[in-house]
Chains A and B, each alone.
Chain A
Amino acid sequence: MQFDRRSLLKYSAAAGALGLAGPFAGQAFAAREKELNILCWEGYNSDEVLDPFRRQTDANVSAESGTSDPDMINKLRAGEINVWDVINLNQPWARDQMWPEKLIKPLPKDRFEPYFANMMAPFNKDYEWCYTADGENLLGMVQRFGPFNFVVNTDKVSRATAEDEGFNLFNEASNSGKYGILTYDNWNIYHMCIGAGLDPFVKHSEADIAAYEKVARAWFKGAKLLTDDLVAMNLALINGEIDFYLTGGTYTSSPARLDGYSNIRGITPKKGPMAGGKGGITWVEVTSVVNNPQGSPLAYDFLEYVQNPEVCHAVAFAEGTYNPVTQMGNPKVFEKFSSEELDAIQWDSLEEELSNTVDYQINPDYDVMNKIYNEAKREA
């Protein structure tokens, strides 16, 4: 074989390219063994939750919190499916959107199903939002949850009155200017449906939509304050700028309660227009493994790690907001919570509140209602 200058250059370039690409390609695969990226609601991204896992696995674990469920799903849709390994969203999205769009992959049942046995009811047996509709595939694990309806300052409106009146409180003309709207758009829409006497999770007639629109416009007109910042909303409630606000619950009232403001209380209406005459909604986070083509094997280890009692407590009381966790059905987890912490998450009424709520689902008329919602907000 004869080498001339051109062929020497050619082979050198090829060798150089291999030399460069080879180690990097190897590193790319090796890096995923020691790397985990989590897209989640705030709390799972705290050092209290992540640091022990980092030490345990010696892995580079990074987590980013989202601002809304749709926002986080959009990241996966926009191509970040190659970035994230774990995604943590409220209950309907895994089964109804991410699974059909192949954004998540199923969990091995034999490894994860045993953890359900120690959870609180109704999460301890075949909790429907963790599975595909046919029950064949396990789509995620549940942990944080909470009733999410409205919040009152009990010095201004008693708990009993608020529970009896429910969302009608916002319909009363005399309450105009006394409340705020925490603009979690999708939740506001559900609560406006309830205020209009509608079940948000069924198909609606034109008359229903008109009734919803009337409530949406009236509530925006009567609202003193709109914000998507729960701290700003609690501050306004504590300082007397407003007497109550929707959308809210344990998730938003617990930081104020832990700070000693026990007059700030999440309310679940005793009755309402939803299935079984219920008037409130509960969110439950489902944490799933992203269908990342080069997914980190640590994703499954992380889902197991957060079942550990210490970690369950850290997740429940991570920075930001404080929430009950389904694992509190396990006495070893429950004993980690102090009486102040239990009071902050309204443990005294949690069971009763849960019995008055239905699961958060996707509204079949969300698109049309969202348009009306934005118009009403803009034109108020």
Chain B
Amino acid sequence: MSSASDTMTAQPTIATQKIPRRRRLVSPGLLAALPVIIFLCVAFAAPLLAVLGYSFMPEKTFELTQAPTLENYLAIFSNSYYLSFTKSLGLALTTVVLLLVISWPIAYGMAKIFGRWANFLTLAIIIPLFVSENIRLFGWVLFLIKGGVMLGGLKAWFGIDGESMLYEVPAIVLGLVYVYLPFALFPMVLGVSMVPREVTEAAFDMGASRWQVFREVELPLAMPGILIGGLLTFILSLGSLAESKILGGQAVIMIADEIETAFTFGQNWPLGSALSMLLILFSGTLVLTLLNWIDLDKILGRGKGGNGD
């Protein structure tokens, strides 16, 4: 008994006794993330830092040991590179607007109407992604070129002589919209599927018109998906190269083309690096601003409190 009573009396002492915590030098979370951190530092940050370093080197140098200079940035601002930046920007914006307009009805159909046919459509859109982008674009060249599938067919069947749309700006936009459609569409499908049917039905019951439901209910609720898709396609279009080269005959010199030229024929790594940094800075600012605006948790269906609400 005595021992039992001793135990009974000892229990509160143990419960209230503070066990000194061992001070950990490294938290388990950090330790677990270490391989990924090291990988990112080596594979992601180090090359970027090298590019940043080169952008401050004198022109045409191939080493990072020279005295830093701003001459590359000055050269960019004093030359007509703004044309490539603004034209790339214009093409990217046009592409995003077109993609959003085209993707909305498809996304709506896939999320709300098509039922199991949506899976078929998903496959039909995904399968071409297994073919190289250049080959798909070259297919478009064969379709659009003078004497090609479209114009050759029109001439053979109807005797109509058409002008090819190749090597002009619209051909570049066509290529961009075609290539980046899945990147706008699928986030948008996710966005539209986040709009509860009950909410739209309630809006209709309360006398809202179709347009009002679209503008005041569906669009705001699907906005995270729309923004993610728009952001993704904007960044991809801004850094695109193949569409302008293959379909556009370089009717527009994209900023990615300028960077490639500086690194290869120009043999001017510092200039190419400075152009790259400006592009990264621009895209990065945009991404961070928008991500600040979008509630990623909401998109992923997680409430802030983690309770699924």
Q: Do A and B bind each other?
A: yes
Let me know if B267 is at the binding interface, CB within 8 A: yes
Question: Is the beta-carbon distance between A232 and B261 smaller than 8 angstroms?
Answer: no
B218 contacts chain A at the CB level, 8 A cutoff: no
Which of B167, B250, B267 has a CB less than 8 Å from the CB of A183? B250
Distance from A314 Cβ to chain B, minimum over Cβ atoms (Å): 26
The answer, yes or no, to whether B278 is at the interface (CB within 8 Å) is no
Interface size on B, residues (CB 8 A): 31
Complex contact B264–A74 (CB within 8 A): yes
Instruction: Let me know if B253 and A232 touch, CB within 8 A.
Output: no
Q: A71 in the interface, Cβ–Cβ < 8 Å?
A: yes
Query: Count of A residues near B, CB < 8 Å?
Result: 32
A239 interface residue per 8 A CB criterion:
yes
* Closest CB in chain A relative to B78 CB, distance in Å: 11
DSSP majority for the A interface?
helix
Give Cα A35–Cα B245 distance, bound, in whole angstroms.
Answer: 37
Q: Which A residues are in CB contact (< 8 Å) with B62?
A: 74, 77-78
Q: Hey, which chain A residues are within 8 Å of B79, CB to CB?
A: 371, 375
Given A70-B264, A186-B265, also A240-B147 (CB < 8 A): yes
Minimum Cβ distance to chain A for residue B51 (Å)? 12
Interface-side segment among B138-146, B197-205, B232-240:
B138-146
Q: Quick check: A239 and B246 within 8 Å, CB to CB?
A: no
Chain B residues lying within 8 Å of A228, measured Cβ to Cβ, are 245
- List CB contacts (< 8 Å) of B52-96 with chain A: 60, 62, 79-81, 83-84
Cα A240 to Cα B146 with chains together (Å): 7
Does residue B283 face the partner (Cβ distance < 8 Å to A)?
no
Q: Are A378 and B145 in contact (CB under 8 A)?
A: no
Q: For the complex formed, measure the closest distance between the CB of B31 and the CB atoms of chain A, giving whole angstroms.
A: 23
Q: Which of A108-116, A219-227, A321-329, A339-347 contacts B (4 or more CB under 8 A)?
A: A219-227
From A185, A186, A235, A378, contact of B80 by CB (8 A): A378
C-alpha spacing A241/B269, complex, angstroms: 36
Interchain CB contact under 8 A, A236 and B145: yes
Interface pair B246/A367, CB less than 8 Å apart: no
Of A73, A180, A377, most buried by chain B (CB within 10 Å of CB) is A377
A residues neighboring B (CB under 8 Å): 67-68, 70-71, 73-74, 77-78, 180, 183, 185-186, 224-229, 232, 235-236, 239-241, 367, 370-371, 374-375, 377-379
